[in-house]
Structure 1
């Protein structure tokens, strides 16, 4: 185990410094490029803090859907093949819920401020809302 601060805390500190101290001093293309860099740091922070739990949940759902154990990547490939072949569709028990939860987990990392995602969390009260970042 590593001592504090954790990698996600270090990355967040750098992003916050750039956002609060450096960004106000820049304009034009340099400011744009800095915002792109800050967004990348924010994305990495979310990946470090959210993906382990969402991958664990996704793996459990896939095991249940497919009826056997395996690696996340392999089970996702198998699920895709079953959907493509017509062996599974939205009438398959649990499939629609799995796809929806997986989509919400991916949006929590990739686009947490996406308006439709935020509305879904607020309206449906999904458990992911507790893990969704505010920035």
Structure 2
């Protein structure tokens, strides 16, 4: 939440965390079978949403800077530049792609063992 935000607490991230906690603490122990599986999926999805809300703005700025350093504006342009050979296949490209993957993993699977 920014200082000029018209929204009060709780923030969107706090609301998502509260729902995730409710599902994990109250619902999950009380269900089994298919409902338990879907509850676990919902808990994981809410965790991803929470992390994206928290990490997304910083990651977006870092990603934009990496793309700009490669001379492109977005992922589609980067893909086209790679296909057309306009981006050198070297350390800068490998690093930018690796950092993009690590950012995605930080949201989707923060416990994934990443080496950087």
List alignment gaps of at least 5 residues for structure 2.
none
Counterpart mapping for 1:36-55 below 5 A? 36-55=41-60
RMSD: 1.6
> After TM superposition, what 4+ stretches of structure 1 lie above 4 angstroms from structure 2?
none
Q: Alignment length, in residue pairs?
A: 111
Higher helix residue share: 1
In the other structure, the counterpart of 2:107 is: 109
1:95 and 2:57 are equivalent in the alignment: no
Structure 2 contact 102–114 (Cα < 8 Å) conserved:
no
List alignment gaps of at least 5 residues for structure 1.
125-135
> Residue 113 of structure 1: CA displacement?
2.3
> Residue 119 of structure 1: CA displacement?
4.1
> Residue 87 of structure 1: CA displacement?
2.2
Deviations 1:101-134 (A, max 9, x none): 11100111112222xxx241xxx4xxxxxxxxxx
Counterpart mapping for 1:21-32 below 5 A? 21-32=26-37
In the other structure, the counterpart of 2:66 is: 61
TM-score (norm 2): 0.86
